[in-house]
C-alpha cells in the first residue's frame, strides 16, 4: 500500500475464528515474544480487532502493556477486555502496529552488568494468543 511517492506502509496480519458465549466477559491477551538473539532486538507490536458474524467490530477495552518471561524470552503482553453480548463465532484479526516500525520503542537495563538494551518494532514475529473467560 502506498500513500505517496516516498511513504510506504507495511503490515502483517493473521485471522482466527473462535466462539464466545453471550453475557460473558473475556480477557484477550496477545504475548509477543522478543527476537532478542544477538545485538539487534525486535518485537512484534500487536493490534487486535474482533468482528462479529455480521462483520461489525466488537468494542474492547485495552489494558496497559506489561513485560514478563512466561513464554521463554522477554514477552510484550497486550491485553483487552471483551464484554460479549451474543453467542456465536467471531473473527480475531491480529496485525502489526506499524506506526513506529523499526524504531526503538522500549529500553531495558540488563543485570548483572548494567547495559541499556533497545527493542525495535517489527512487522512480524512469534506471538501467543489467550482468550479466557473472566469469572
Quote the domain boundaries for residue 106.
Answer: 13-132
What is the tens place of the pLDDT at every residue in 40-93?
888 899 999 999 999 999 999 999 999 888 887 788 999 999 998 899 999 999
In this prediction, residue 27 carries a pLDDT of: 98
More confident residue, 2 or 70: 70
Count of domains forming the chain = 1
4 assigned to some structural domain: no
**What value does the mean pLDDT take over residues 30-36?**
91
Rounded to two decimals, the pTM is 0.84
Q: pLDDT band at 2, cuts 50/70/90?
A: very low
47 assigned to some structural domain: yes
User: What CATH number is given to the structural domain containing 31?
Assistant: 2.60.120
2 assigned to some structural domain: no
Please tell me whether residue 53 adopts helix, strand or coil conformation: coil
Q: pLDDT band at 123, cuts 50/70/90?
A: confident
127 assigned to some structural domain: yes
81 assigned to some structural domain: yes
Which residues is 109 bridged to in the sheet?
Answer: 116
How far apart CA 88 and CA 53 sit, in angstroms, is 7
In this prediction, residue 131 carries a pLDDT of: 96
68 assigned to some structural domain: yes
How far apart CA 35 and CA 50 sit, in angstroms, is 27
3 assigned to some structural domain: no
8 assigned to some structural domain: no
Amino acid at each position: 500500500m502506498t500513500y505517496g511517492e516516498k511513504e510506504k506502509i507495511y503490515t502483517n496480519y493473521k485471522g482466527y475464528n473462535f466462539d464466545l458465549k453471550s453475557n460473558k466477559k473475556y480477557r484477550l491477551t496477545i504475548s509477543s515474544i522478543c527476537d532478542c538473539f544477538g545485538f539487534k532486538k525486535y518485537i512484534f507490536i500487536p493490534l487486535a480487532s474482533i468482528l462479529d458474524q455480521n462483520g461489525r467490530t466488537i468494542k474492547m477495552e485495552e489494558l496497559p502493556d506489561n513485560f514478563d518471561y512466561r513464554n521463554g524470552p522477554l514477552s510484550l503482553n497486550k491485553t483487552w477486555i471483551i464484554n460479549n453480548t451474543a453467542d456465536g463465532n467471531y473473527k480475531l484479526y491480529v496485525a502489526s502496529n506499524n506506526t513506529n516500525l523499526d524504531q526503538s520503542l522500549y529500553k531495558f537495563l540488563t543485570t548483572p552488568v548494567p547495559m541499556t538494551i533497545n527493542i525495535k518494532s517489527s512487522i512480524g514475529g512469534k506471538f501467543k494468543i489467550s482468550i479466557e473467560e473472566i469469572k
